[in-house]
């Protein structure tokens, strides 16, 4: 299986964390791709031009981080990430929405300041601030698809939007993130500190 990814993408991180948690990371051939780089080779493999993109053994192209995680989960007996259970999917989708709002903000900030849509950025921030109080800290020991998506989302806030001081309002989530951040799946996939945000051509 070939996984197109990059080091800073929270979406690709979800997939990499899932693969580690499932114990199948070594079955992935990792291909680092810059989605903003307009590489014909990447666009041929992944026509939507986004990471992550997985090419399965039979050549099937699978996009969307949640779908890729479900596919990887289906390869392991018992589907350990619980990715076919509605409550797990519901939690994963909520956390994924936090990633979407944060990523939209990061991309908006790449425009020249005079072209940035201030209300759009504020809207994303409000969405994040409304959502986090609705997320209960997961129980210790559990780390299913919903939980790993939440961990990636919170870590991405710390990485790209540290001014959203979510930890002061959600100390339980902060304690939980600190604990799960020591899992090998999280340490091995952490973005390089100081990595610049996406560059738009
Ligand atoms: N909904 C997608 C989002 C993927 C995505 O937007 N990835 C970003 C990198 S973090 C990307 O490749 N963006 C390039 C683009 O939008 O053209 C998923 O969950 O996989």
Mean pLDDT of 39-60: 96
How far away, in angstroms, is 52 Cα from ligand 1 center?
7
* pLDDT tens per residue, range 85-118: 999 999 999 999 999 999 999 999 999 999 999 9
Which structure tokens are listed for 33?
Answer: 């791709």
Task: Find, among 102, 2, 3, the residue nearest to 52 by Cα.
Answer: 3
pTM above 0.85, yes or no: yes
Closest atom, ligand 1, to C-alpha of 8: 10
Mean pLDDT of 155-163: 96
Atom 1 (ligand 1) nearest CA? 64
For the chain, list the domains and their CATH numbers: 2-74 (3.40.30.10), 86-187 (1.20.1050.10)
CB atoms < 10 A from the CB of 191, how many?
A: 16
From the number of C-beta atoms within 10 Å of its C-beta (0-12, 13-18, 19+), residue 108 rates as middle
Closest atom, ligand 1, to C-alpha of 50: 12
Of the candidate ranges 31-40, 126-135, 146-155, 172-181, the one whose mean pLDDT is the lowest? 31-40
Reported as a pLDDT band with limits 50, 70 and 90, residue 34 is very high
- Distance between CA atoms of 77 and 40, rounded to whole angstroms? 37
């Amino acid at each position: 299986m070939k996984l197109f990814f990059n080091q800073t993408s929270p979406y690709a991180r979800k997939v990499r964390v899932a693969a580690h948690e499932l114990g199948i990371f070594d079955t992935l051939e990792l291909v680092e791709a810059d989605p903003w780089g307009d590489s014909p080779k990447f666009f041929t493999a992944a026509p939507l031009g986004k990471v992550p993109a997985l090419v399965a053994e039979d050549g099937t192209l699978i996009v969307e981080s949640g779908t890729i995680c479900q596919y990887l989960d289906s390869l392991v007996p018992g589907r350990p990430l619980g990715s076919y259970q509605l409550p797990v999917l519901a939690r994963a989708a909520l956390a994924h929405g936090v990633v979407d709002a944060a990523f939209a903000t990061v991309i908006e900030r790449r425009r020249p300041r005079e072209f940035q849509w201030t209300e759009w950025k504020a809207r994303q921030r409000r969405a994040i601030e409304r959502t986090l109080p609705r997320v209960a800290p997961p129980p210790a020991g559990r780390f299913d698809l919903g939980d790993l998506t939440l961990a990636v989302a919170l870590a991405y806030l710390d990485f790209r939007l540290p001014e959203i001081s979510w930890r002061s309002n959600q100390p339980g989530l902060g304690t939980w993130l600190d604990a799960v951040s020591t899992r090998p799946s999280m340490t091995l996939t952490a973005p390089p500190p100081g990595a610049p945000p996406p560059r738009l051509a």
